[in-house]
Chains A and B, each alone.
Chain A
Amino acid sequence: MRDVAVIGVGMQKWGELWEKSLRDIFTESAMLAIDDAGVDHIDSMYVGCMTSGLFVGQEHLGSLLADYLGVAPIPALRVESACASGGAAFRQAYFDVASGANDIVLASGVEKMTDVDGAGATYALSTAADAEYEVYHGITFPGLYALLAVAHMHAYGTTREQLAEVSVKNHKNGAKNPLAQYPFEVTVDQVLNSVMIADPLTILDCSPITDGAAGAILCPLDMAKDLSHKAPVKILSSAHATDSIALHSRQDLTWLSAVAKAGEVAYKGAGLTPADIDFVEVHDCFTIAEIAVIEALGFFEKGKGGTGAPSGETAMGGRIPVNPSGGLKSKGHPVGATGIAQIVETVKQLRGDAGERQVEGAKVGMTQNMGGTGGSCVAHILGKV
């Protein structure tokens, strides 16, 4: 296997992009990544997308988007693992380059979520859960994470305020990210008093509905200097793990075992431990998700994740900054694009290009992208060369 580098990243401002179609937002972000790398062609491409079929009535994305990017007839493939589709697409691009099959590969992600109404979006997202034994009975994604939250609060004494602090911290970071959908700060009181969605989670515990896309250009590390003038960022390890998609099938309802497994494989692949990671972009689709993930990745003891935000340990300048980009909460969560946006942020941080939200002296960054309630998880560790 060849060593692989990221030499270009691209992302436009996310939000409710009424005037733009799925193919528009994909192409804009892909062009930004290609221009950032400074390459004159790509050899193949992967598109992470959870459910364009339900959101815009379009499948067969690989070919459609290769055509609109003007790169057909190169191989182009859509990759799906629910909300981890972007991370999974990045991993396929990594293998494509590492194996020697292709040299310059685009890893991208896209989701156009606002062409359906709220109920339509709730339904489309619910297909990441068990259709016959969870969704049939009326559960929603906020509902599933609420079940996880109540179990975590009961088992470990995690408090309602600790959940709110995650949202406050991520909005504080996102307020410094010009590409974020909701770049403003919120207070604990605002989180607690916003509209209840699924007890105990309010709307400010939930990541939003977002239109957005992101892209990254990968190439062999030893070709990076010839292909691009940008400082290459090396992919130190790539990991993927699965678990039951039905939350109720897990022995411990509070423990995300696919996240723990992906983390373990990623650390081993990079020869590192959690203490070596300078910052991490995690999948905070709901505030409780960030708490459970930072435990599973080994940054906090099991049951202690709730202390991360209130103590300042996960804040910028803290022991392990979590979600410098603002996370899914503030930056937005166009599901298939999220895993690639985590890579975009990580590359910017490792290049020292993150502006006001730069993690000082960052050399190693990690990304964690999960599908459903943790039925799939993709993790990557990237390092400054």
Chain B
Amino acid sequence: MSTSAKYWRGIPQRYRLEAEKCTDCGAQFFPPRVVCSGCGGREFEEIKLDDRGKLLTYTVIRVGPSEFCEQTPYAMGIVELEGGVRMTGQIADVDFDDLEVGLPIKIEFRKIREEGEAGILCYGYKFVPDK
């Protein structure tokens, strides 16, 4: 079983959507990086991602990994936020028939899974349709 360090290390991204912007070329990175893969720059400013975007693609997971077996079936997708950053996550509170490319999405903070018996509760962002 993992120690808790890898979870608290991810809190700024998973709870608060903290990202960064290269001060040289303006490229945005989520999660933050040490070197800009666009221009090689090493200076960044912290930014907070927009919590709204649109669905680029989607699926419904019918056979899940062990820690998600009890949640199946569940929808997942890739969302592009208004600043251009893209991320993968679950789509909650959605009728599978309503899934479509371009669906407006709002990001919400939710429980993702429980790690094992008496394990760590893992939180993070999920996507919900933005009505």
Contacts and interface: CB of A to CB of B under 8 A. Distances in A.
B94 interface: no
B74 interface: yes
Interface on chain A toward B: helix, strand, loop, or mixed SS?
A: helix
Interface string B88-103: 1110000010000100
A197 B63 contact: yes
Interface residues of B, number: 33
Contacts of A148: 57
Contact of B124 (A136, A143, A154): A136
A248 interface: yes
Interface string B32-72: 00000000000000000000000011111111111111010
A136 B56 CA distance: 19
Interface stretch (A82-90, A126-134, A353-361): A126-134
A54 interface: no
A42 interface: no
A346 to B, nearest CB: 33
Given A122-B66, A138-B113, A198 B61 contact: yes
Contacts, number: 96
Contact of B10 (A132, A139, A249): A132
Contacts of B77: 147
A126 B66 CA distance: 11
A146 B88 CA distance: 13
A135 B88 CA distance: 9
A134 B88 contact: yes
B57 A151 contact: yes
Given A154-B101, A249-B86, A139 B61 contact: yes
A383 interface: no
A32 interface: no
A101 interface: no
Given A119-B65, A140-B61, A247-B88, 11 more contacts: A122-B63, A134-B88, A135-B65, A138-B68, A138-B71, A147-B76, A154-B57, A154-B101, A200-B59, A248-B78, A253-B57
Interface of A: 118-120, 122-123, 126, 132-140, 142-143, 146-148, 150-151, 154, 195-201, 246-249, 253
18 contacts: A118-B63, A122-B64, A123-B65, A133-B87, A134-B88, A137-B89, A138-B90, A142-B63, A147-B58, A147-B78, A150-B101, A151-B56, A198-B62, A199-B59, A200-B59, A248-B86, A248-B88, A253-B56
10 closest A-B pairs (Cβ-Cβ)?
A146-B59, A119-B66, A151-B57, A248-B86, A138-B68, A199-B60, A150-B57, A248-B78, A147-B57, A154-B101
